[in-house]
Amino acid sequence: MQLSDILNIFQGITSFFTESPLISFGRLGLIVLGALFVYLGKKGTLEPLLMIPMGLGMVAVNAGILFMPAAMSNTIVTGSIDTPVQHYMAEIDGAEARYNAEIARIESVVRSADIKAAETNYALKQRQAAREQAMLKYLADKGAKAGSPEGIRHRQELETTIARYQADLKKSNDSAMPGTLFLAPLVQQPDQLMDIIQINFLQPIYTFAFGNSLIACLVFMGIGVLLDVGFLLARPFLSMFLALTAELGTIAVFPIGVALGLTNGEAASIALVGGADGPMVLFGSLMMAKHLFVPITVVAYLYLGLAYGGYPYLIRLLVPQKLRAIKLPPRPIVKITAGEKLAFAVVGCAVLCLLFPSAAPLFLSLFLGIAVRESGLKVFSTLIENVFLYGATLFLGLLLGVLCEASTILNPKVVLLLVLGILALLLSGVGGIIGGYIAYLVSGRKINPVIGIAAVSCVPTTAKVAQKEVSAVNPNSIILPEALGANISGVITTAIITGIYVALVPIMH
Amino acid sequence: MTQRTKTALYWGIGIATAFGGVAIARWVAPHYEGKTAAYLAAGGQLLALMGLVVIAFGVRQRVWRKPGR
């Protein structure tokens, strides 16, 4: 037995020394970060329901690296090429084989050298024309014109993709390709996907529930069951106004992101962090920036976890103690009936789905949750709240953690995403409080401006934070019903903005 | 006008406004081109959302009405 055989037994450790130092240090860093998430989750600093599975997933995926057998890594490499690139490579290979055979035939025939040279030259020109034709077809598939900046970018991307594919294929044939038995997120070709589903244990959940946003919709359904739209209906103007001002980050970060070099889809996806709704960010990034959805969603959930700890400081910084202590005027005794809330949910769902069909799955999920709650369907409420919501949260955390492989997360854009994510959330918080101040002034100094922070969605965290901060200075001031109204309005507004981004980004130039 | 009729009126106007807005944004706007289409679509979407606000105001005026009225 040689040393290499012993090292081969402990491939997780051996792979640290065979990969590039950046990836190896990245893996180590992510293992430590994962452990830190578990610790902070247990301590309650970050949301434990999400951070404990996510942290453990990060530890496991970065530790459990092995050298994949050639057959498995070939399946992953060939399955990860997207269809237009696959078509392009097939056409290029076909043209190469056809004209190489033609040139060989010309060489084998007994004829004068001049004629042979002319015929060979003609075949070479034909081969070049076939290549150009394949490129034009590829660009047409991508919706770009040959000479345009977009076309040049796609051409460069294609060359990089093919070079990486060939390098990966070589590595794969040498059985030197590192990988895991958790999941292969980039595999998309149906045949290879069917093979890989039988190998990677989390692949079925990823393919059938994550990649198509089902998990995001299940979480949203759960949020719907927890929502009481009565709070919104009781104070519609205040709730909707605050929700609009609390979208400052979602709107302002989009042009900032574009100015800093992100594409429209990437900038819109990271701007959605300002809406403080995890499922919405997941849905939006899957629709608009699929290649970056892992870092964007991880950044979003990380910051949403931190919002609970950070927003109290923002409130204390921007709202003086005297204003935080304001007690709201008495509320009406009449209750809003379940029938009214159900009718509002039906009309709201229909109108929003008609306006923004691209976000219809989110609207349906949210309003289905509300409808189930208001219809008094206890069995469904229990199922959605206890099984769907918590089951989806567990797998969401686990999959996000498992997707945090060093090679995926060490993207140069991640630092920019970290900065823009916190900026979006900060601006939304500031926008909400500005809205709160406007409401305070317009109402004749009766509305507590702290309510504004609750409009930054993130149900019910921000509403609870607002109430906690108010109770700390005046235990008799109850703002929770108004805060929840703004909170619910925030969810709906964020869903509308997601729909607008998803609809507009593909047609923006 | 009774409270019931008043509430029903708000709901009726709200629903009509909302679906009218949807019709303008999704049906009328695509028949035009350029800026007209963009303005019509934006206006329609705004109108549709206003419809939802009208419904919410209908509920609000019932909930917040003074006792005895």
In DSSP notation, A73-108 reads HHHHHHHTS-HHHHHHHHHHHHHHHHHHHHHHHHHH
Which of A:204-233 have CB within 8 Å of B?
232-233
In DSSP notation, A246-288 reads TTHHHHHHHHHHHHTT--HHHHHHHHGGGGT-HHHHHHHHHHH
Domain assignment present for residue B30? The answer is yes
Burial A446-480 (b: 16+ CB within 10 A, else e): ebbbbbbbbbbbbbbbbbbbbbebbbebbeebbbb
Q: What is the mean pLDDT of each run of 10 residues along chain A (509 residues)?
A: 68 81 89 93 85 93 88 88 86 86 81 81 86 86 78 85 87 84 87 90 91 88 90 88 94 94 91 89 87 84 78 93 89 79 93 87 92 95 94 91 83 86 93 95 92 87 90 91 90 86 78
Q: Do residues A129 and A109 make contact, with C-beta atoms less than 8 angstroms apart?
A: no
Q: Do residues A141 and A84 make contact, with C-beta atoms less than 8 angstroms apart?
A: yes
pLDDT for B61: 83
Name every chain B residue with its beta carbon within 8 A of the beta carbon of A354.
19, 22, 26, 48
* Residue A503, number of CB atoms within 10 A of its CB: 16
Burial class of A36 by CB neighbour count within 10 A (0 to 12, 13 to 18, 19+): middle
Better pLDDT: A55 or B1: A55
The complex's ipTM works out to 0.87
Domain assignment present for residue B69? The answer is no
pLDDT for A2: 67
The C-alpha atoms of residue B16 and residue B57 are separated, in whole angstroms, by 15
* Residue A275, number of CB atoms within 10 A of its CB: 32
Looking at chain B, the number of H-run helices and the number of E-run strands are 2, 0
The C-alpha atoms of residue A349 and residue A364 are separated, in whole angstroms, by 6
Handedness of CA A382, A384, A385, A387 (dihedral sign): positive
pLDDT for A409: 78
Place of tokens 């345009």: A148
Contact between A233 and B51 using a beta-carbon 8 Å cutoff: no
B15 is in which domain, residue-wise?
3-63
The C-alpha atoms of residue A367 and residue A426 are separated, in whole angstroms, by 28
Query: Taking residues B64-68, what's their average pLDDT?
Result: 63
Domain assignment present for residue B11? The answer is yes
pLDDT for B22: 92
pLDDT for A471: 93
Domain assignment present for residue B14? The answer is yes
Contact between B56 and A236 using a beta-carbon 8 Å cutoff: yes
Q: Which of A232, A237, A355 sits opposite B45 (nearest CB)?
A: A355
Domain assignment present for residue B68? The answer is no
Name every chain A residue with its beta carbon within 8 A of the beta carbon of B4.
none
Name every chain B residue with its beta carbon within 8 A of the beta carbon of A340.
59
Q: Which of B26, B59, B63 sits opposite A354 (nearest CB)?
A: B26
**Total count of domains within chain B:** 1
The C-alpha atoms of residue A405 and residue A294 are separated, in whole angstroms, by 10
The C-alpha atoms of residue A308 and residue A316 are separated, in whole angstroms, by 14
Q: Does A243 touch chain B (CB under 8 A)?
A: no
Residues 6+ apart with CB under 8 A from B55: A344, A347, B10, B11, B14, B15, B18
Q: Does A343 touch chain B (CB under 8 A)?
A: yes
pLDDT for A1: 61
pLDDT for B69: 46
Q: What angle do CA A296, A300, A302 make, to 5 degrees?
A: 115
Contact between A237 and B18 using a beta-carbon 8 Å cutoff: no
- Using DSSP's 3-state secondary structure scheme, residue A40 falls into helix
- Using DSSP's 3-state secondary structure scheme, residue A178 falls into strand
Place of tokens 């959302």: B49
pLDDT for A151: 82
Residues 6+ apart with CB under 8 A from A49: A390, A393, A394, A397
pLDDT for B31: 92
Q: Does A237 touch chain B (CB under 8 A)?
A: yes
